[in-house]
């Protein structure tokens, strides 16, 4: 099923000072991004797609930089990462078989080193929606909505 994730502002990455795309949208099919553009452009190209409109800024899922949050179980530690808008962790912090298994079950990427997450066509559909304070509103990991703040 095609899903359009749209927000008033789209950032292709969080780390460079490039200008955001106003009324931006990302079209997701399965675990991949199939198109990026303004909401009007992608709705015209994909008229039957479901649209999820988000408040805040839409951008790529983050890479969790430090140790994983404390929680009672590896699954809950990974869930805390997803709640922050992160869809990847560094291998040095996923240092047990249980943490790696929990990450794999949730499709959280385990990276050998930090990579700049970006939004681009054909890439894995890893997205985060942040409010004006930088807090996560929603996280999409490999095309699945895995966190939504109520």
Residue 90 has pLDDT above 70, yes or no: yes
> Residue ranges of the domains in the chain?
2-61+117-148, 63-111
Distance from CA of residue 121 to its chain's centroid? 14
- Do residues 133 and 109 lie in contact, with contact meaning Cβ atoms separated by under 8 Å? no
* pTM for the whole structure: 0.94
User: Starting from the edge strand earliest in sequence, which strands make up the sheet with 86-90, in order?
Assistant: 62-64, 86-90, 109-111
Residue ranges of E strands in the chain: 2-10, 21-22, 24-29, 32-38, 50-60, 62-64, 86-90, 109-111, 127-130, 136-141, 144-148
- In this prediction, residue 17 carries a pLDDT of 62
What value does the mean pLDDT take over residues 1-21? 90
Tokens at 27, concatenated: 């079209």
Quick one: CATH architecture of 2-61+117-148? Roll (2.30)
Bridge partners, 90 (sequence order): 111
- Tokens read off for 115: 């990579």
pLDDT tens digits for 26-66? 999 999 999 999 999 999 999 999 999 999 999 999 999 99
d(CA 5, CA 145): 10
């Amino acid at each position: 099923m095609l899903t359009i994730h749209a927000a008033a502002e789209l950032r292709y990455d969080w780390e460079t000072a490039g200008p955001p795309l106003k009324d931006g949208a990302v079209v997701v099919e399965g675990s991949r991004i199939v198109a990026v553009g303004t909401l009007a452009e992608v709705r015209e190209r994909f008229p039957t797609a479901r649209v999820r409109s988000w408040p805040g800024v839409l951008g790529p899922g983050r890479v969790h930089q430090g140790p994983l949050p404390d929680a009672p179980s590896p699954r809950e530690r990974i869930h805390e990462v997803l709640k922050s808008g992160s869809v990847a962790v560094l291998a040095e912090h996923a240092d047990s078989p249980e943490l790696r298994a929990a990450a794999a079950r949730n499709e959280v990427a385990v990276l050998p080193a930090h990579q700049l997450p970006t939004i681009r066509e054909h890439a894995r559909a890893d997205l985060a929606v942040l409010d004006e304070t930088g807090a996560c509103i929603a996280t999409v990991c490999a095309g699945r909505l895995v966190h939504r703040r109520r």
